[in-house]
Amino acid sequence: MKIEKLNENKIRITFNHSDLEKNNVDVHSFMSNSIESQSLFLHLLDEAEREIGFITDNYKLSIEALALSNGNFILTVTRIEKEILKSTRVQARRKTLTETNQVLVYQFANFDDFCNFTNFLSVSLPKFVEYLSECNSLYQYQDCFFLVLENFDKNYVSAISSVISEFGVYVQNSDLVFHKVKECGTLVTENVLHTK
């Protein structure tokens, strides 16, 4: 875990899966804002106060969370001063994938990452595999693998994102990328995710 002071009112906390394990929090609990993840967050704020003097008492906080494809997590915590609060309305928004996409494309750095993802699904979330079983294709393009999801239920978009983000990354402009990998890449298989 690494805590950096970006300015007087902003810090960055970088941590990984092993930091979560040390605090008895799994990735899915952390991503779902569980009691365990809230406890971890409070622990991180205590550490920030001890290490760099970042005091959060009597401040409102803005938190930006980012999960990286390498397994690291970055929390950017900003203290909002009372004078600013009086003149500004602060709203927390979670970034979600746009529902206008006709396809979702996820990029895996290598085939092993994709296999780890499918193994995780089949062991931990077999119902999810059943849902995805008829709407997916796997392409290889420029040494990467692209999972393409078509005709998916829009209600599953955020669930799909949180599960896959441990193993691969969501590709912006998925519609355009899909056409590119379909035209220039190699179709590895269709319906690669299936129940056994």
Instruction: Please report the pLDDT score of residue 87 as a whole number.
Output: 47
Tokens 């760099």 belong to: 52
Instruction: Please report the pLDDT score of residue 95 as a whole number.
Output: 45
Pick the CATH number of 103-190 from 3.30.70.1950, 1.20.58.1030, 3.30.300.30, 1.10.3210.10: 3.30.70.1950
CA distance 66 to 81: 24
Burial environment of residue 18 by CB neighbours within 10 A (0 to 12, 13 to 18, 19 or more): exposed
CA distance 122 to 133: 11
Q: How far is CA 107 from CA 39, 46, 96, 115, 152, in A?
A: 32, 36, 17, 13, 17
Closest C-alpha to 151, from 134, 168, 139, 165? 134
Q: For the segment 67-84, what is each residue's pLDDT rounded down to a tens digit?
A: 776 777 788 888 887 654
> Strand pairing of 10-15 and 103-108?
unpaired
- Percentage of the chain beyond pLDDT 70 is 70
Q: For the segment 4-53, what is each residue's pLDDT rounded down to a tens digit?
A: 888 888 888 888 878 777 877 766 666 666 677 777 788 888 888 999 98
Tokens 């129940």 belong to: 195
Higher pLDDT, 68 or 106: 106
What does the pLDDT average to over 151-174? 72
pLDDT tops 60 at residue 85: no
CA distance 16 to 95: 21
Instruction: Please report the pLDDT score of residue 132 as a whole number.
Output: 65
Domain locations along the chain: 2-87, 103-190
CA distance 48 to 40: 12
